Every structure is written in structure tokens, then in C-alpha cells.
Amino acid sequence: MAMTGENDAAEEPKRGTGGNGTGSNGTGEPRDDLVTTRHTLTVAGGRELAYTATAGRLVLRREIHTEDKFDGPRPKAEVFLTAYTVDTADPASRPVTFAFNGGPGSSSVWLHLGLLGPRRVVMGDAGALRPPPYGLTGNAETLLAASDLVFIDPVSTGYSRPAKGEKSKDFHGFTADIESVGEVIRLWASRHGRWMSPKYLCGESYGTLRAAGLAQHLQDRYGMYLNGVMLISSVLDLGTLEFGGHNETPYVVYLPTYAAIAHHHGRHGDRPLAEVLAEAEAYATREYPWVLARGARLPADERAAAVRTVARLTGLSAEYVDRVDLRIEHMRFFTELLRERRRVVGRLDGRFAGWDADYGREQMSADPSYSAILGPYTAALNHYVRAELEYHNDLPYEILTNAVRPWSYQEFENRHVHVADRLAAAMRANPHLRVYVACGYHDGATPYFAAEHTMAHLQVPDELRSNVEFAYFEAGHMMYVHEPSRLAQSAQLARFVGGTA
């Protein structure tokens, strides 16, 4: 079923209407409630950047056919977005980047206020967090200096909701999600005359899986070819993250991340991180897969040597590695590494450490890195959207919600979720499509070696492999909370997009 949007582009900008933020066209149906404001920002190099911000909900509609007759469009969902555009005589010459986070169930707040947008959160970093109410400041390194930006909150995240009478679960699945986000992209590009602009996607975490699927969907469904896809903390093959069930791959691809986190917490003495990672990667590339594949066939002396090596690399005791049969599940690792110090380490960012109520448990009760970022980003968004973007809505802004679960992967029944083939198909059809893959060494949610493993198996001809570039940071899943990483990544993304204001 195709979805279309109500076109009110010619109307004057209007404020959100309070309540649930939905306007009405006199028939009781929802209408777009977009609010436009204008701002200036001094960007890197001292240049003054004037831009327009538009925030609000866009109505998606489903085409209805009754007994083979077109019965008109029906409101299906109201999707919240925040768009930033720079005034120029030739808008089509400016790149535009469509950005979203993951989850599933995450709003776009992290990329919006952490890395790409013209305003950013000030929260401190691991070991030096600021107290509430935190801070919000201008982002001199914003990607807006090189590209217009559209941040999209998928249905049930942010202020996005199904239309009245519609079912939330109809949007809570792989294909339905790609279709609805893809429709938002098509509508925005059509209404703003941007089909001839260079177009990019930027996704984080599950948002990278969405971006890979969208690259193919936009081509096949709408004939919209992209210039580039930015994958932040990438996962295109969930099989690389699914422990157990005789799937040995996660144990292997997580090993270098365990080594990086152990290094951060002093388990490798004064050895340089690069040296530790080189050893861990070499072991994970050759000996470790072979050791695990041998199972009970592995001779006792070789098993003992493997236990010692894995223990040394991960910072865990040899006794523990032996007890778990050389197979270290990630949540166990985060709980075990600093157990004797009565600390647990973060999953999203292993540089963070925190407390738990019970240090005998097998798995920690909360991720200290998520606890560290949730408050600052939530406070900043709820202030910013009202005080600066002038959009008012009494619904709670869903930063990261479990309401989207269970998430449907019915398209992948009896096999693990894998979308690298869709990205490869998009690249083969569009050989100019470039891919940027950003990895945090301390990211325990989407480990960097798993991303390397997946991209190494990307089914594209050799002449297209140079279209893929990797970037690495000494930080975690949201690598931009680490200031040196944020600055470096911002510069890389500007170069990748290659636009000018």
C-alpha cells in the first residue's frame, strides 16, 4: 500500500496546537502542524550561518481502494521531524541529509543533539559527567554547514504516533518501518524541490540497518538514487550479535572490543591501545575461530593455551574463561570485568563504569553508559523543541521506548536478520553510492570488528570496494560524547558530504 501526505506547503507556518499537537482541516482529520523559526550560528572558521528550522508532525496517508475503485487517502500516521535548511539561491545545489537513530524504538535525538544538528548537548564524558540540568550550546561543527538536515522520528518514537484509530503494530517491523520512513523522505524532497539535490542517509545503530534497507527501497520504489550512506555504529547483520545457539561468530567479533575496554580500565598496563587491538584482531582472525570450531576435539594443552590468551586479552581471569568454555557473552563481560572493584562497565560505551546493587549477579541490572546520557539528552530536547523551535505538544517525547516491541522480522523467518545484501544491491545499481562506516573501539552494542566482518563479505565487485570507508574512534556507541571523537567525526562527515553553505 502506498502512502501519501497532505500537501499544505503553501500555508503559513503555524504553531503546534497543544494537546496532542494535531491540527484539523475541519473534517476531524489530522493535518501537518509544522512550525518554522529562523536562527543564526557561528560555525567553524568564524563564518555566520543563517538557517531555517522547521519542526512538527507530517501526516502520512494510505491509499484506499474499495472494490477496485480508488476511495481516497486515509490518515495513517503523524511523523515528527525537525528540518534545517540554509537559504540559498539554488537549493538544489545543496546536499540534504536524512538522519535517524535506531533501537528499534529510538528517536533521532542522539544524532540531532549529539553530532549533526546546529545545537548540541553539553554533558561531560566518562569520569567527568556534569550534574543536572546539564547544558545546550551552539554546535560550531554542525553538518548543516555542508548539508541541509532532516531528522526523522519513526512512528511511536519522539512525538510520532499512528493516526487516530490506526494500529501501532502496523509500523513496528522491518518493512513497515522502511516504508514509512521512506515515505517521509519522498514527501520532504518533493515538497521542497530537492529531487535534484545530492541526497544522503545517516543512521545510527539499528538506524544503519534501516539506512541500508532504505538505500535499496528508495531506488526500487521511487527511483530515488542516493549519493551516500553514513553508518554510525553499524550493524547490518544481526547474526554477528546473537550469542548462543552454536553461533560462534559473536564470540569472535567481540574479542577486540573486550580487549579495548579492558585496556581502558587498566588491564593491559602501559601498552598502547593500537598494540593491544592488533594482537586481539590477529587472534580473532585466525586462532580463535579455529579453537572454538574444534570444540571437544581441541587437545587439553591447546585449550589451556587458548584460555590463557583469551583471559589476557579480555582482562578476565583464566578461571572465568575456562568456566564459560572460552565463550564470553557480552553482558556477562560487562558485569565480570571489574567485579572485584564492585563496578560494572557500560554496554553502549565501555569507558563508563557504574555501581550495581548486587555484585554476585551474572548480568548487570543497568547500563551505566546509557544512564549517563539519558538525562542530558532528554532535558535538552524537551527544552529545545519548545523554547527555541517553538513547537508545543503535550505528548511525552519518547526518547527510547519499548512500546515498539515485539518488533516484526517476519521477512527473515527461519534466518537471521541481514541487510548487507540490500546495500550491495543498491551499490551495484548505483555505482556512485558511497558508504561511510564509523566505529567506536569501546562500543559493546555494535562492535567494530563485526562491522568489518560484515563489510568484508559485501557482495560488490572489487572496483566498488573503494566506495566504502571506515573511521575509528576511541569511544563507544555514541562516539560523539567523547569530545576529540566528536570533532574528528564532524570534520569527516563534512568531507564525506562535500557540500558548502
Is residue 37 a part of any domain in this protein? no
What's the mean pLDDT in 85-99? 92
pLDDT at residue 15 greater than cutoff 50: no
Please, what is the end-to-end C-alpha distance for the chain in angstroms? 38
Please indicate, yes or no, whether residues 108 and 231 belong to a single structural domain of this protein.
yes
Among the residue ranges 2-6, 22-26, 259-263, 306-310, the one predicted with the least confidence is 2-6
CA–CA distance, 44 with 163 (Å, rounded to integer): 41
Among the residue ranges 84-93, 116-125, 309-318, 365-374, the one predicted with the least confidence is 84-93
What's the mean pLDDT in 59-79? 85
Number of domains in the chain: 2
Tens-digit pLDDT profile for residues 344-359: 999 999 999 999 999 9
* The pLDDT value given to residue 499: 53
Using DSSP, state whether 207 is helix, strand or coil. Answer: helix
Cell matching residue 330? 557480552
Is residue 369 a part of any domain in this protein? no
Is residue 189 a part of any domain in this protein? yes
Is residue 70 a part of any domain in this protein? no
Using DSSP, state whether 28 is helix, strand or coil. Answer: coil
Please indicate, yes or no, whether residues 216 and 263 belong to a single structural domain of this protein.
no
Cis? peptide before 95, omega within 30° of 0: no
Of 335, 363, 391, the domain-final residue: 363
Confidence of residue 92 (pLDDT cuts 50, 70, 90): confident
pLDDT at residue 54 greater than cutoff 60: yes
Of 363, 388, 417, the domain-final residue: 363
What's the mean pLDDT in 15-25? 46
Q: What is the pTM of this model?
A: 0.93
Please indicate, yes or no, whether residues 411 and 345 belong to a single structural domain of this protein.
no
Q: Are 454 and 252 in contact (CB under 8 A)?
A: no
Please indicate, yes or no, whether residues 185 and 276 belong to a single structural domain of this protein.
no
Is residue 74 a part of any domain in this protein? no
C-alpha of 145 from chain center: 21
Please indicate, yes or no, whether residues 176 and 251 belong to a single structural domain of this protein.
no
pLDDT at residue 188 greater than cutoff 90: yes
* The pLDDT value given to residue 90: 87
Of 319, 341, 363, the domain-final residue: 363
Please indicate, yes or no, whether residues 231 and 260 belong to a single structural domain of this protein.
no
Please indicate, yes or no, whether residues 285 and 378 belong to a single structural domain of this protein.
no
What's the mean pLDDT in 486-498? 97
* The pLDDT value given to residue 480: 98
Please indicate, yes or no, whether residues 255 and 234 belong to a single structural domain of this protein.
no
What's the mean pLDDT in 86-105? 93
* The pLDDT value given to residue 42: 95
CATH at 482: 3.40.50.1820
Please indicate, yes or no, whether residues 351 and 410 belong to a single structural domain of this protein.
no
The 10 Å CB-count burial string (b at 16+, else e) for 306-336 is: bbebbbbbbbbeeebbbeeebebbbebbbbb
Please indicate, yes or no, whether residues 354 and 445 belong to a single structural domain of this protein.
no
Confidence of residue 23 (pLDDT cuts 50, 70, 90): low
* The pLDDT value given to residue 44: 85
Is residue 166 a part of any domain in this protein? yes
Is residue 469 a part of any domain in this protein? yes
Range of the domain at 222: 93-239+374-497
Please indicate, yes or no, whether residues 133 and 210 belong to a single structural domain of this protein.
yes
- Tell me the residue type at 211: A
* The pLDDT value given to residue 88: 87
Share of the chain above pLDDT 90, in %: 88
Tens-digit pLDDT profile for residues 360-376: 999 999 999 999 999 99
Is residue 447 a part of any domain in this protein? yes
Cell matching residue 31? 493535518
Please indicate, yes or no, whether residues 105 and 182 belong to a single structural domain of this protein.
yes
C-beta neighbour count of 113 within 10 angstroms:
24
* The pLDDT value given to residue 28: 74
The length of the chain is: 501
Confidence of residue 476 (pLDDT cuts 50, 70, 90): very high
Q: Give the CA angle between residues 305, 307, 309 to the nearest 5°.
A: 70
